[in-house]
Structure 1
Amino acid sequence: MNYQIELRHLHYFKVLAEELHFRKAADRLFISQPGLSRQIKQMESIYKTTLFERTKRTVQLTEAGKYLLHEVELLFSQLSNIQTQIEKIAEGKITSLKLGFIGSAVQTILPKLLASLKQKQPLIDITLNELSNEMQLEMLGRNELDFGFVRVDGTPPHIKSLPILTEHFALVIPKNHPLKSKPNLQLTDFKDEPFILFSKAYSISYYDLVMSIFRDHDFVPHVTLRTVNALSIFNLVSQGLGVAIVPSSLKNGYSTDVDFIELEQIRQRTTLTLIWNRENRNPGISALLEEVKHLLEDN
């Protein structure tokens, strides 16, 4: 490791990599443009490689620059986490945990987990963020989250996972739907209906799983609306704008004017999974994992 590099160099580099414009980056850093250029050239001399390709019109990262940006983002994220942990310790707290979740986690394990953890570890601060599956994975990779509750098919090597709940799907229809009273309702009875689904932004693998349900029933759904929020889906269905397919656990905890038809007979199942970064050194990681495992054993 070359110890000539200082944090200020990396900070200057990060801002320039974000702006890709020397004047704008210099303005953000409150230094002169020539001063910024000298700092970047000094870095390139220390690393013995070019970090930015410069022309009269453009500034672009080289492959080495892209690699360095990724590492610098991780470094500054870790420094931010260190500051947060030190502040919590100074306040008499054990640590701070940042949890990401999707809506169905609130209807299953999350409330029990938070209540139990707070009872046993009252000095842990917990921050909750409702986020899409993909965003949780991204933020875990940057150590901007400590845990995530997701529905995904597989995770990157640096992400560890623990299955929480595997469940079937349910069809969501308006309370006054004309097919409601039909005996032995099947999904194919709704093949001409507009469908409201979780979008690919919620999770690509989850979206593909739901679409496989339609393929098994030999029809392509007419998807008119997509969202990443369960309550939005239920409200849209209640207004007669379509029907939906959701994880069965989402029927709990919402007061909406819809009915649920269980799709227990189909082969597809969806799993709510707890994920975390194996490289995360937050001291609260083990405490939450221990509590999750206790809850799963009790169930």
Structure 2
Amino acid sequence: MELRHLNYFQAVADELNYRKAADRLFISQPGLSRQIKQLEEELGVQLFERDKKHVELTAAGKFLKGEVDFVLNHLETTKQQLLQIANGREGELRIGFLGSASNQVLPELLKKINQNFPKVTTSLEELSNQVQVEMIQKDKLDLGFVRMASVPDELEMKSVYRDTFSLVVPVNHPVTVKNFTSVGQFANESFILFSSDYSNFYYEQILGICRDSGFSPRIKHKSVHALTIFRLVENGLGVAIVPSSLKEGYDLNVRFMEIPGTSRFTELSVIWKPDNRNPVLGKVLEIV
């Protein structure tokens, strides 16, 4: 078995189409079929069910795909780390984050990384909770900043920031900080919320705040981006409930009002995989 066999297998497993996989690999379709046959003979198992119209992974093929994705990703990561080291760096840390982490927590962490480990570079990607979990499981990310109640057993999670909730209204809204006593004052308003795709746990917390005040919110719009939500509020399309820390960094015609009398709060947590082999991760975890 050679590395090319794994690359060829991955292409067919991704495409489930020999012609498309062959085009992606810049080889002939018969040549690709021979390589896959060689791999199956080497392993002693059938990896694909194939007829004239369909290509499907067998149970063994599905298992191998997960392992091959991990191995090839690890090789690519190793290559990138080697290039970093060769260029005088200590390595690269790949960080996923929710947009709400970019206001306070993430800038503070990056500042400390620069101060303590100036030869470490970072790669940042804004992603949903679930995508971060999946990418950390597959070693495609090293750290993630999420809002979740729990993570899979093979990952670690640590709370790094506890935040209150604030209601966001247009700047000319009649309810102000002085006369804001309950979210129930907005029971008849339209709400603009972070989509449950952003964080189902967080989404349920928002609904809980409204239920605590005796109503179910009339949800008019959803988004995974804070700026989009604030723009919609600014234009009078509804009100929103967000982590209070999001009031930093935006210059819009909206008013943030911390919700009074609620015991609910939101936590931003950092997640990672303990057996991640990136040597930079252990150094940065000390800062975290």
Unmatched runs of 5 consecutive residues or more in structure 1: 293-299
Q: In the alignment, what sits opposite 1:295? A: none
Structure 2 length as normaliser, TM-score?
0.95
Identity of aligned residues (%): 47
1:79-126, Cα deviation, whole Å (9 max, x unpaired): 111001100110010111111112221222221221121012110011
Are residues 19 and 181 of structure 1, via their aligned partners in 2, closer, same or farther at CA, if it must alter by over 3 Å? closer
Aligned-pair CA distance for 1:265: 1.7
Aligned-pair CA distance for 1:279: 2.2
Q: In the alignment, what sits opposite 1:18? A: 14
CA RMSD of aligned residues (A): 1.5
Measure the CA separation in 1 of the matches of 2:199 and 2:180. Answer: 31
The one-letter code of the counterpart of 2:123 is T
Matches within 5 A, 1:36-185: 36-180=32-176, 183-185=179-181
Structure 1 length as normaliser, TM-score?
0.92
1:124-168, Cα deviation, whole Å (9 max, x unpaired): 011222222222122212212111111111111222111101222
Aligned-pair CA distance for 1:182: 6.7
Unmatched runs of 5 consecutive residues or more in structure 2: none
Aligned-pair CA distance for 1:181: 7.0
Matches within 5 A, 1:216-295: 216-292=212-288
Matches within 5 A, 1:22-33: 22-33=18-29
Moved over 3 A (4+): none
The one-letter code of the counterpart of 1:282 is N
Are residues 182 and 115 of structure 1, via their aligned partners in 2, closer, same or farther at CA, if it must alter by over 3 Å? closer
Measure the CA separation in 2 of the matches of 1:229 and 1:287. Answer: 31
Aligned-pair CA distance for 1:264: 4.2
The one-letter code of the counterpart of 1:20 is L
Measure the CA separation in 1 of the matches of 2:20 and 2:74. Answer: 26
Measure the CA separation in 1 of the matches of 2:180 and 2:42. Answer: 73
The one-letter code of the counterpart of 2:77 is N
Q: How many residues align?
A: 288
1:212-270, Cα deviation, whole Å (9 max, x unpaired): 22222232211111111111111111111100000111112221211112124212211
Residues 169 and 264 of structure 1 are in contact (CA less than 8 Å); yes or no, is this contact kept in structure 2? no
